[in-house]
């Protein structure tokens, strides 16, 4: 059974519809990537799935793990197993990573976790991801480089063990070394997790897909998925751009 099923989804901002009938099915343990030109609706889709209050659905359905995702508040979606890694993570001065992640895990599990017990959990995940243990005492994203912010997002993903992880332009602003480190973290989570999550990568460029190999790549244009293919599609898009896909879809619809 599919973990996530999106059927004819329309929606966007209060004054502008951006998604125009998105259809998408994700299964646990699979990595899907959504690519497309600027303004095609990629980040809008991510925000709607996460429950961003600035975006609304006008029609269509989203079923997650057998229930309607759209009926759940954002925090309920998180507790149900939906995780989103942000393109621009917020800084939270004065709140340590340890306390932040402990609070998040307690909210998901609905029970208290003693500090010493959580410290062991956090250290095990940091070791799995090859992170320095002193990272846990730093304030959330405060003074972090772009790569550190994104790495912190992946650590959150490892701690919360979501059923669905949405990576919204995680590669944005990363140099090649930071991109390799973050990608290695995602690959490690996929390898070590049981059960394995479904991952939805939203990106403009092929480069992150050189390190995280998707099972399926979708092209989103004008608010609709107009083409899907295997991992080789990323190279073709890099070489030929999006116009050939857009033009082909228009001819097929004519």
How does pLDDT run across 108-124, given as a tens digit for each residue? 999 999 999 999 999 99
Overall domain count for the chain = 1
Instruction: Give me the chain's average pLDDT, please.
Output: 92
Position 71 scores a pLDDT of 96
What is the residue range of 121's domain?
Answer: 4-253
Q: Which residue has the tokens 């340890």?
A: 98
Whether the CB-CB separation of 185 and 158 falls below 8 Å is answered with: yes
Secondary structure class of 202 (helix, strand, coil)? strand
Q: For residues 90-102, give the mean pLDDT.
A: 95
The structure's pTM equals 0.93
Confidence of residue 86 (pLDDT cuts 50, 70, 90): confident
Residue 70 pLDDT > 60: yes
Confidence of residue 204 (pLDDT cuts 50, 70, 90): confident
Residue 169: closest CA among 81, 74, 77, 44 = 44
Domain with 95 in it: what CATH number? 3.40.50.300
Q: Which of 14-18, 28-32, 173-177 has the highest mean pLDDT?
A: 28-32
Position 144 scores a pLDDT of 92
Question: In whole angstroms, what is the distance from residue 234 CA to residue 217 CA?
Answer: 7
């Amino acid at each position: 059974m599919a973990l996530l099923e999106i059927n004819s989804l329309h929606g966007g901002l209060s004054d502008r519809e951006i998604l125009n009938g998105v259809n998408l099915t994700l299964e646990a343990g699979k990595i899907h990537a959504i690519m497309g030109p600027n303004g095609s609706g990629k980040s809008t889709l991510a925000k709607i799935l996460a429950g961003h209050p600035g975006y609304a659905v006008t029609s269509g359905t989203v079923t997650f793990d057998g229930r309607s995702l759209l009926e759940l508040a954002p925090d309920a979606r998180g507790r149900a197993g939906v995780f989103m890694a942000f393109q621009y993570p917020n800084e939270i001065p004065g709140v340590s990573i340890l306390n932040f992640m402990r609070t998040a895990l307690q909210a998901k599990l609905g029970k208290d976790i003693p500090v010493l017990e959580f410290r062991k959990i956090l250290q095990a995940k940091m070791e799995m991801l090859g992170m320095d243990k002193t990272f846990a005492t730093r304030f959330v994203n405060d003074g972090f480089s772009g790569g550190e912010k994104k790495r912190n997002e992946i650590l959150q993903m490892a701690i919360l063990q979501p059923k669905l992880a949405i990576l919204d332009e995680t590669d944005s602003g990363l140099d090649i070394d930071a991109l390799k480190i973050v990608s290695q973290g995602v690959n490690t989570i996929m390898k070590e997790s049981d059960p394995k999550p479904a991952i939805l990568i939203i990106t403009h460029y092929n480069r992150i897909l050189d390190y995280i190999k998707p099972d399926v790549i979708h092209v989103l244009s004008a608010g609709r998925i107009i083409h899907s293919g295997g991992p080789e599609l990323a190279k073709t898009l890099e070489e030929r751009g999006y116009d050939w896909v857009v033009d082909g879809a228009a001819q097929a619809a004519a």
